[in-house]
Amino acid sequence: MAEISALGYVGFGVSNLDKWEVFATDILGMQVGRRDATSMTLRMDEYQQRFFLEQNPVDDIIAAGWEFTSEQELEEYVAELRGKDVQLQPLTAEQCALRHIEKGYRCADPNGFDHEFFFGHGVALLRDQFRSSVLKGGFVTGNLGVGHILPFANRGNGPETVDFYKNVLKFRVSDYIRQEVQPGMMVEATFFHTRTGRHHSIATAEAPTAKVLNHFMVQVEEMDDVGLAYDRAVKAGIPIVLELGHHPNDKMFSFYAQTPSGFNFEMGWGGIVIDEDDWEVRTYHQMSDWGHKRNLVPPPETEEHPLS
């Protein structure tokens, strides 16, 4: 049966492309692939783009691009979704060109952004190999994809969102975290992986929030690059949301800080890859087993979130 391989790219609508260019290159260590007056692409590896940004006042996620290894597998998956009454639209030739893909389709998430399904990613020329101006090593991508995203489910929409990810899009459940973050306030998060096994490529939790996206995560090859990025963020005056710490489920050492659009990013090292033959779905009762001290820096005009 056809199945998603990995999170191939992510799209954001952002209000300030100039701030994002400086942030993505000087703090995260990405490379600009293409830039014009209304859009920008960002590179992390040999792919021509891993993130695309469009001038848009929403300052939120607009698309998650899920990769397939062949056109046949993509078409089988699309046919299966249509059999589940999912409303799919083909991406236009212009949209495919902007995403550097051969073919794609999209459908709506229950929470206000698009899932895009594609095959045939564009690879940069050898002379244009990825170069970071600040990283000691590189990003962990390859068949594991970009990293992960955590979109929030709208209030009351949590069960529908989990069902959509699990039973419609066919993400595999990795594990759960249920934690009482404040007296009487329980956060329940579900983590999902794809066929290639990054611990989670998408996770979700129900929360009252002005933005859909809580955070995206990128993983680096060298632990030092997490600390160096943390130092760069502090020096640049970027609000640190969660200090350096460690997650018990995916074993990621990381920190969280705020992007120019108000949602967060996580930079991590050491995340596990799931072996389906030796994996047990568990429920954890803490988001972090050490560190990740919270700093009270909610984005302007949004509510403080219990989960990052």
- Written as one string, the DSSP assignment of 215-263 is EEEEEBSSHHHHHHHHHHHHHTTPPEEEEEEE-TTT--EEEEEE-TTSS
Q: Does a structural domain hold residue 72?
A: yes
Q: Considering the domain boundaries, does residue 304 fall inside one?
A: no
Whether residue 134 is contained in a domain is answered as: no
Last residue of a domain, one of 104, 128, 152: 128
Same domain? For 164 and 201 the reply is yes
Residue 301 covered by a domain: no
How many structural domains does the chain have?
2
Give the residue ranges of the chain where pLDDT is below 50.
299-308
Q: Is residue 247 part of a domain?
A: yes
Contact 163, 243 (CB under 8 A): no
d(C-alpha 82, C-alpha 104), whole Å: 14
- Domain, as residue range, for 123: 6-128
Report residue 185: phi and psi, to 5°.
-115, 105
pLDDT for the residue numbered 198 = 98
Verify that 14 and 120 share a domain, yes or no.
Answer: yes
Q: Residues 181, 56: one domain? A: no
Residue 50 counted as domain residue: yes
Sheet of strand 240-246, all strands in order from the earlier edge strand to the far edge? 283-284, 172-182, 185-193, 202-206, 148-153, 213-219, 264-269, 253-258, 240-246, 290-291
Are residues 87 and 65 part of one domain?
yes
Do both 178 and 117 map to the same domain? Answer: no
Q: What is the pLDDT of residue 91?
A: 98
Which of 98, 128, 158 lies at the terminal end of a domain, its last residue?
Answer: 128
Claim to verify: residue 83 and residue 195 sit in the same structural domain: no
Do 279 and 150 lie in a common domain? yes
Q: Within a domain: residue 308?
A: no
End-to-end Cα distance, the chain: 33
Residue 242 lies in a domain: yes
* Same-domain check for residues 147 and 124: no
Q: What is the CATH number for 42?
A: 3.10.180.10
Is 276 found in the same domain as 238? Answer: yes
The Cβ of residue 303 has, within 10 Å, a number of other Cβ atoms equal to 12
User: Domain check: are 274 and 228 in the same one?
Assistant: yes
Return all residues near 148 (Cβ < 8 A) that are at least 6 apart. 7, 198, 200, 201, 202, 203, 216, 217
**In degrees rounded to 5, what are phi and psi of residue 163?**
-65, -40
